[in-house]
Amino acid sequence: MAGGVKRGALIGCGFFARNHLHGWQDVEGAEIVAVCDLDHEKAQAVGREFGIAGVFDDAARMLAETDLDFVDIATTPPSHRSLVELVCRHGLAVICQKPIADTYAEARAMVEAAEAAGVPFLIHENFRWQLGFVRIKAALDAGRIGAPRFARLSFRHGFDVYATQPYLATIERFVLMDVGIHLYDVLRHLMGEVSHLACETASLRPGVAGEDSFTSLLRHSSGAVSVVDCSFASTIHPEPFPATLAWIEGSTGTLELTTDLRLHIHAAGEKVVESADPEVPAWGARPWHTIQDSVIRFQAHVVDVLNGRAEPQPSGRDNLNTLALTLASYDAMRERQLIDIAQWQERQ
């Protein structure tokens, strides 16, 4: 698959898809040549807006009629498995938005289908590609704070996400599946695998069907301990959405990511402050720009993977461990139990 501009198709022309398409326009080495949505008008609108000739409302027909190297799936979870398996049957590299699936068994089947087809399977999980977490990962890998032993990730806001993502107010499993899954991926990326997890959730805002806040306590296989907390019902001024605050303590220092997108590095008897505030893409806008910038970073990574220059980050296989933490959090809440993650995965 190495070499040349990779030809891609996007399935799902909804709210977040435009970030994908702008991101593909910004990265070298890939071009979206076809788009598909069940709602033909949505696909046509996106085709016109981005100058894409291939416009379809049936993914199977698009794949049968279009010469492609990869497919980028930006639909919501109910369609993910059927679409990923369809793309695998065509022997194409496949990228799927988070959450990968609503159950662990479905997600595992998708991973197995990609591995049986011998195709790259990446999850569009972009929080780990946010500039702040790219910088934190580099500092950890460089040993700037020694061995990490405590982490806290906090995502608290009162932003009206429901205006552009109305389904978030109706799904029974909400904030863990929507953003907890991001936070758990970042946590695993930075601190390593999790052995045990406890979680409490709450439904704070009237009219929202699912849980809109959670607090988790996690033990890592390394022995480190982490706390992850999240609320979509907080009153904070100025509104910090979509900032994720981070605090990571190591044996010789501390890393702190603050609301104003500054990375504070406490080490060697001093504090150094670096900006983690990315440029706003020409097509983007605050406050979404940190996520929009991460889309470009992730999709540039996809091109590296398609050219054999990098391993998927994250792969579908890796994302199973993130999904396990997310789904096990609901069991921890329901059973008021500390969950052994390896035993939880064996039971699925």
What residues line the site for ligand NAD (CB under 6 A)?
11-17, 36-39, 42, 59, 74-77, 79, 83, 97-98, 124, 126, 165, 167, 178, 291
- The β-bridge partners of 179 are none
Nearer to ligand 89V, 204 or 225 (CB): 204
Question: Least Å distance between CB 308 and ligand 89V?
Answer: 29
242 binds, among ligand NAD, ligand 89V, none (CB under 5 to 8 A by kind): ligand 89V
The bridge status of strand 262-267 relative to strand 213-220 is unpaired
Nearer to ligand 89V, 123 or 179 (CB): 179
Nearer to ligand 89V, 182 or 196 (CB): 182
Give the tokens for residue 216.
Answer: 């988790």
42-67 burial string, b = 16+ CB within 10 Å, else e?
Answer: bbbebbeebebebbbbebeebbeebe
* Whether the Cβ atoms of residue 13 and residue 37 lie closer than 8 Å to each other: yes
Instruction: Please give the Cα distance from 324 to 343 (Å, whole number).
Output: 11
Options 12, 47, 120, 242; binder of ligand 89V; rule CB under 6 A: 242
Number of Cβ atoms within 10 Å of the Cβ of 313: 18
12 binds, among ligand NAD, ligand 89V, none (CB under 5 to 8 A by kind): ligand NAD
- What is the x/- site pattern for ligand 89V, positions 28-67, by CB under 6 A? ----------------------------------------
- What is the x/- site pattern for ligand 89V, positions 209-238, by CB under 6 A? ------------------------------
Among the residues of 163-276, which ranges form H helices?
A: 175, 181-191
Residues 6+ apart with CB under 8 A from 41: none
- What is the x/- site pattern for ligand 89V, positions 166-185, by CB under 6 A? ------------xx------
Question: Least Å distance between CB 155 and ligand 89V?
Answer: 8
Task: Fill in the DSSP letter of residue 217.
Answer: E
Question: Least Å distance between CB 177 and ligand NAD?
Answer: 8
SS3 call for 114 = helix
* Whether the Cβ atoms of residue 320 and residue 194 lie closer than 8 Å to each other: no
